[in-house]
Structure 1
Amino acid sequence: MGSLPSPPPSPSQENHPSNYVMVTIFCPREPTPNVTLPNSIHLYYPSMNTWTNVGRIPGLVDDQVLKGFSMISLGDFIYIIGGQICNKEKVHVNDDSAEFLDEGIKVVPNVLRYNIRTNQWFNCAPLCVARYDFACTVCDNKIYVAGGKSRLASARGISSAELYDPDFDTWSRLPNLHILRYKCIGVTWKGKVYIIGGFAERENSDMTMPSIVERSSAEVLDSQARKWDLIAGMWQLDVPPNQIVAVNDTLFSSGDCLNAWKGHVEAYDGKFWNEVDGSRKRSLSTLEYNYENWPLNQRLYLTMAPIGNKLFFLAGYRVGGGELARTMSVVHVFDTSATVDPWKSFEPMELEGEKELCSHCCVVQLSSP
Structure 2
Amino acid sequence: MTLHPIEPGQRLGTLDRAMAIAEAEVAVKIASQSLDEGPQPLAQSLIKLALLLVETGQLGLQERAKTLLFRTEALLSHPPRGQAREYRPQIARLMYGRGLLYVWQRNFVDALVHLRSAARAFGEEDEGLSLVDDGLGRYYAALNDFHAALFHFERSLTRRSPDSPDRLISLVLLGHLHQQSYLNDRAEVYYQQALTLAEELGELDLKLQAWAGLGRVATARQDWGRAEQCIRTALVGRTSPYELQQAAYLYLNLAEIELGQGHCDRAETLVEGDAAPRFEALESEVGWAHVNRMMGCILTQRLSQPTAWDDQLAETAEDYFLDASMTFEEHGLVAPYALTLHDMAGLYRLATQRQDVPPLRRQSDSCFGVGAQRSGKGAAKGHQPQFQAGSAAQRH
For the pair shown, the structure with the greater C-alpha radius of gyration is: 2
Instruction: Name the TM-score, length of structure 2 as normaliser.
Output: 0.28
Structure whose residues are more often helix by fraction: 2
Instruction: Name the TM-score, length of structure 1 as normaliser.
Output: 0.30
